Amino acid sequence: MNIAIIPARIGSKRIPKKNIKIFYGKPIIYYAIKNSINSGLFDKVVVSTDSVDIKKIVEKFNAEVPFIRNKKLSNDNVDTDSVIIDTLEFYKRKKIFFEYACCVYPITPLLDFKDLIKGYKKIIHKKSTSLFPIYKANDLKNKIITINKKGVMEYNSNKSRVSYNDAGQYYWINVKKYIKEKKLWSKNSIPVIYQKNKLIDVNTIQDWEKLKKMYKKNTSKPTQEKFWQGEFGNKYSNRNDNIKLINGNKNLFKLALKNINKKRIKSVLEIGANIGNNLKVLKKIIPNCEFHANEINNSAANKLKKIIPEECIYNSSIKDLNINKKFDLVLSKGVLIHINPLDLNSIYKKINSLSSKYILFCEYYNPKPININYRGFSNKLFKRDFAGEFLNKYRFQLVDYGFVYKNDPKYPLDDINWFLLKKM
């Protein structure tokens, strides 16, 4: 049996009754309850609260409140562990035991039930005590988390590694292992890495207003993004999983990179990396290099973990990509052709900011912008002179260019024009 525990006390100093404050027509705790129920993972979805008012509200959304929390466990100094243990002990007295538990915080409308499923699958696979959602650190004052070679989290152990902060959205635990130590943080706690733009800790009215804006943006994503995040994007990934594409890519990248000193390329970022066919080839062509990938489709991003470390994968749209780092080479292959033309200028700007040396565009080319029907869909594929437009805006120079042909007898690949640019 599994249980979701949602801690929700009535007290809140800066935002009165924060956990049941109305958020887009619903008490904000509704979203945590909905995601927990919709995940299909839990035999019980329980709210731990000290308030009869909260009890009445959450029971309307099919959450259980089997007891009212003791006031001693409802002040500002009570930690999450105390609330989890209190709930587990209540059920233990009733001879009800759970295999896994997930503590879901009440103010998490930016999460999706798929996030809970993702964490559940990982903690089972890794056989860990607990699992934390984390994000790349931008607050070095809080406890800094690093990830060791075994994929286990450590506090302040090696500042030369990539640093993270605890996201504080939900925590998965293996109950049998957890109850021995009664602490979320253990010697084998593992992470799920998130982009910071999907997370916010709400403590002030300003935070609340920011959360509303973020939620509105997330729930009104452009059709183009939904298209590639959904079933069509999954099918696209499956079509690309074949050896012919990899061989064609090998020929393409050898041609495109033949005129540069590859020993000077120490870091590569691919935008829209899909399942990693391009990265597989580049890892052989550019040895001793750190590879990073951005990918909007969740299924494809999960497959990327077999090729590069999870902390080097940014599972978001290109528009939402937020990296405080520059890369020696930024690659776009068959990605810009699927970007809404109205968004191209912002994408060009982001690519420019991410590159420290080179950019390689491998896209369909046309001297004038045109819209092509794509597998029965309109406004999903666009041809234009991407490299030319970029060169007109930013201080780069053309190093080399070329073409690969779909009817090449040895290395067939889509009719792609490639352009290698160097920062001036």
Whole-number Å distance between alpha carbons of 327 and 209 = 34
Q: For 281-327, how does the pLDDT look when each residue is reduced to its tens digit (9 = 90+)?
A: 999 999 899 999 999 988 889 899 999 998 899 988 888 888 888 99
- Read off the pLDDT band of 423 (50, 70, 90): very high
Which pair of tokens denotes residue 215? 């939620």
Whole-number Å distance between alpha carbons of 415 and 53 = 64
Q: Give backbone dihedrals phi and psi of 345, rounded to 5 degrees, phi first.
A: -60, -40
pLDDT for 198 equals 72
- Strand 100-104 with 153-155, pairing: unpaired
- Average pLDDT for residues 413-420, to the nearest whole number? 92
Distances (CA, A) of 24 to 31, 66, 215, 231: 11, 28, 9, 28
Residue 183 near residue 155, CB atoms below 8 Å:
no
- Read off the pLDDT band of 397 (50, 70, 90): very high
Q: Which one, of 104, 100, 88, 89, lies nearest residue 33 by Cα?
A: 104
Whole-number Å distance between alpha carbons of 165 and 160 = 15
Residue 237 near residue 275, CB atoms below 8 Å:
yes
Q: For 29-54, how does the pLDDT look when each residue is reduced to its tens digit (9 = 90+)?
A: 999 999 999 999 999 999 999 999 99
pLDDT for 290 equals 95
- Average pLDDT for residues 143-152, to the nearest whole number? 86
Q: Which one, of 17, 101, 24, 8, lies nearest residue 59 by Cα?
A: 8
In the chain, % helix, strand, coil (3-state, to 5) comes to 35, 25, 40
Pick the more confident residue, 50 or 380.
50
Q: Helix crossing, 29-38 with 52-59: angle to 10°?
A: 40
pLDDT at 139 over 80: no
How many CA within 13 A on the CB side of residue 273?
32
pLDDT for 175 equals 96
Q: Tokens 């690093």 — which residue? A: 146
How many CA within 13 A on the CB side of residue 414?
12
- Average pLDDT for residues 153-180, to the nearest whole number? 85
Burial of 57 (0-12, 13-18, 19+ CB in 10 A): buried
Helix boundaries (H) for 60-204: 80-93, 113-126, 175-181
Q: For 224-279, how does the pLDDT look when each residue is reduced to its tens digit (9 = 90+)?
A: 776 777 777 777 777 666 666 778 888 999 999 999 999 999 999 999 999 999 99
Residue 17 near residue 11, CB atoms below 8 Å:
no
Mean pLDDT (the chain) is 90
Length in residues, the chain: 424
Edge-to-edge order in the sheet of strand 290-294: 313-314, 290-294, 267-271, 327-333, 355-363, 416-423, 396-404
Domains of the chain: 2-219 (3.90.550.10), 225-423 (3.40.50.150)
Which pair of tokens denotes residue 165? 């902060």
Which pair of tokens denotes residue 60? 């309307």
